[in-house]
Structure 1
Amino acid sequence: MTTARIALVAACLLLVACGPKATPEQQAQALQAFATIEQVFQHPRCSNCHIPGDQPLQFDAQAPHAQGVVRGPEGHGAPGLPCSACHGEKNPPDSYGPHAPPGAPHWALPPPDRKMAWIGLPAAELCAMIKDKDSTGGRDLDAMLEHVTGDALVLWGWEPGGRRAPVPVPHADFVAAFRTWMDGGAPCAGV
């Protein structure tokens, strides 16, 4: 095989591996779309559990969780006080009152070895974290998209019940923004 042919094969393999490049217009649209993604991720419905420390936040005011609740060794609460002790598989009936613990399937925080702590992160750092498989438990962008479209706990943020404010961006708009960002090469501003 000639050197020219080897170079051609290598270039073709690189194109297949890297996929098509986004146009400058797609990249600009992707950066705009990330502003929507950031708005959702920084909302209390998401950021109350994506915390740098070990005590989750609660309410729209993002107050430290009462009752001494902590992340625990696997993200499911402390031994003897798991999240599921108070948080069920769904919200309790309204008759339980406005301060009843909300519920959704597998209520938990990210585990301590990958906290996915993005509360207050600048956009570029949040963007880099979402793209980093080490930070997302091995999820690539396709798996992250699946996570934000099909995980019942994530979807709860759009219908939290009680007096809790839902994520202000409609879920369909958020998903469209996530796809636009991905299709545009998932760029991070300032990087």
Structure 2
Amino acid sequence: MRLAIATLTVLLAACSPRVDPQQEAQGLQAFATVEKVFQHPRCSNCHIPGDQPLQFDTQTAHMMGVVRGPKGEGAAGLPCSSCHGEANLPASYGPNAPPGAPHWSLPPPDQKMAWIGVPASELCAMIQDRKRNGDRDLDAMFKHVAEDKLVLWGWAPGGSRAPVPVPHDQFVAAFRTWMDAGAPCPKAAARG
């Protein structure tokens, strides 16, 4: 019996992916940058738990009763595109003119990707969960954060809106470092 358990232990160890502790630590450090970007109002104003998007750096409920709608594109009769065009309006429209970017919308109601106030461990798990992230594997998530024009808007939001505080190339590099480290998630905080 002991021999069988010892053999099983050796086999399991051989089949388990080896994690380089240094690479894992780098991945966790990189995820802290990813989390900082995702939690910034440029991202989290539309990644909401409810159905009313937020606006401004103060994360105020969107004016005019705007809601997510059945596809994340606003309610019937008041789609996001009623006010949000394909690009930011010129500065002459004022500091609070509606911003714009291609396919302005929220995530759909069945995959809200809501992360306001979510602990880092849960955010990390959510990003990797295809049932909650728009059915994207990590490569597709990487492409989304690196290339999607609506995501890129966060670094050039126009008006008086603060851009995401981490330069986009640093964010993309952090996301890649995290992925290459096996996408490790921070440990959940112990509950007291």
Q: Give yes or no for TM over 0.5.
A: yes
Q: Distance in 2 between matches of 1:89 and 1:149?
A: 19
* Residue in 2 that maps onto 1:103: 100
Q: Distance in 1 between matches of 2:116 and 2:102?
A: 23
* Residue in 1 that maps onto 2:51: 54
What is the CA deviation profile of residues 128-160 of structure 1, one whole-angstrom value per residue up to 9, with x for unaligned ones? 000101111110111000000110000000011
Alignment of 1:136 with 2:133, yes or no, is yes
Q: Distance in 2 between matches of 1:22 and 1:94?
A: 50
* Residue in 2 that maps onto 1:8: none
Aligned partner (choices 33, 36, 40) of residue 36 of structure 1? 33
Equivalences for 1:1-191 in 2 at 5 Å?
21-190=18-187
Deviation at 1:189, TM superposition (A): 1.0
SS of residue paired to 2:125? helix
Q: Distance in 2 between matches of 1:51 and 1:96?
A: 28
SS of residue paired to 2:92? helix
- Flag as ranges the 4+ runs of structure 1 deviating above 4 A: none
What is the CA deviation profile of residues 9-48 of structure 1, one whole-angstrom value per residue up to 9, with x for unaligned ones? xx9xx97xx9x64411100110111000000000000000
Q: Distance in 2 between matches of 1:39 and 1:22?
A: 25
Q: Distance in 2 between matches of 1:78 and 1:163?
A: 27
Deviation at 1:53, TM superposition (A): 0.1
Q: Give unmatched runs, 5+ long, in structure 2.
A: 1-10
Q: Give unmatched runs, 5+ long, in structure 1.
A: 1-10
Q: Distance in 2 between matches of 1:143 and 1:119?
A: 22
Contact 1:92 1:102 in 2 (8 A): yes
Q: What fraction of aligned residue pairs are identical, expressed as a percent?
A: 73
Contact 1:49 1:110 in 2 (8 A): yes
Contact 1:51 1:119 in 2 (8 A): yes
What is the CA deviation profile of residues 70-107 of structure 1, one whole-angstrom value per residue up to 9, with x for unaligned ones? 00010000000000000000001111111110000000
What is the CA deviation profile of residues 114-141 of structure 1, one whole-angstrom value per residue up to 9, with x for unaligned ones? 1010111000000000010111111011
CA RMSD of aligned residues (A): 1.5
Q: Distance in 2 between matches of 1:21 and 1:51?
A: 36
Q: Distance in 1 between matches of 2:170 and 2:106?
A: 25
Deviation at 1:57, TM superposition (A): 0.1
SS of residue paired to 1:87? coil
